[in-house]
Amino acid sequence: MIVYDLECEQSHRFEGWFGSAGDFDTQLSDKLLCCPMCNSGNVVRRPSASYVNTGAVERQPRASQKSSSVSVPQQYANVSPEMVAKIIEHIVKTTEDVGNKFPEEARKIHYNEAPERHIRGIATAHDVESLRDEGIEVVSLPVPPHLTVKTH
């Protein structure tokens, strides 16, 4: 897995996760990359700092530094945890939860065996890799537990 810092023509910066440098090059040349904020297809790779695993244990923030808002891991470059939380909330509100049947339903939709619709659910890393190998677009998101149960 390789992570690149990307930027669109509107100067929105975001991360892209790719299986390899070749995957990035292919998606870029096939114009499959777009900005998650404005949907611009004019995306370029930006320099990024390298990550070096020093083996040091990450320090926990002091109690006075903790936020009382929804806890969303900071894993997306240049996107605030609040923005990630809003995006995830929107996705939860506008998709159908198919639970553990996600890989099966995604395949049915992809192969036109079920009506096209936006779905979400649970899949193992192996399932996600298999779906991507079949050409099925899949995105993994950190959905907080309080959003996984819809009341409607």
Residues 61-88: pLDDT tens digits?
A: 554 444 444 454 455 566 677 777 788 8
In a domain, 58, yes or no: no
52-74 b/e (C-beta count within 10 Å ≥ 16 → b) = eeeeeeeeeeeeeeeeeeeebee
In a domain, 84, yes or no: yes
Compute φ and ψ for 141, nearest 5 degrees: -130, 145
145 shares a domain with 87: yes
Q: 96-97 and 119-120: which strand pairing?
A: parallel
151 shares a domain with 85: yes
Q: Is residue 29 a contact partner of residue 23, using CB atoms and an 8 Å limit?
A: no
In a domain, 9, yes or no: yes
Say what the pLDDT of residue 67 is: 45
In a domain, 144, yes or no: yes
96 shares a domain with 150: yes
HSE-CB at 133 with a 13 A cutoff on CA atoms is 7
Q: 5 lies in which domain range?
A: 1-47
| Sign, Cα dihedral of 137, 18, 93, 131 | positive
Split at pLDDT 50, 70, 90, the class of 152 is: very low
In a domain, 127, yes or no: yes
Compute φ and ψ for 116, nearest 5 degrees: -70, 130
Q: What is the pTM of this model?
A: 0.47
Please give the Cα distance from 12 to 34 (Å, whole number).
Answer: 11
Count structural domains, the chain: 2
| Sign, Cα dihedral of 68, 73, 79, 84 | negative
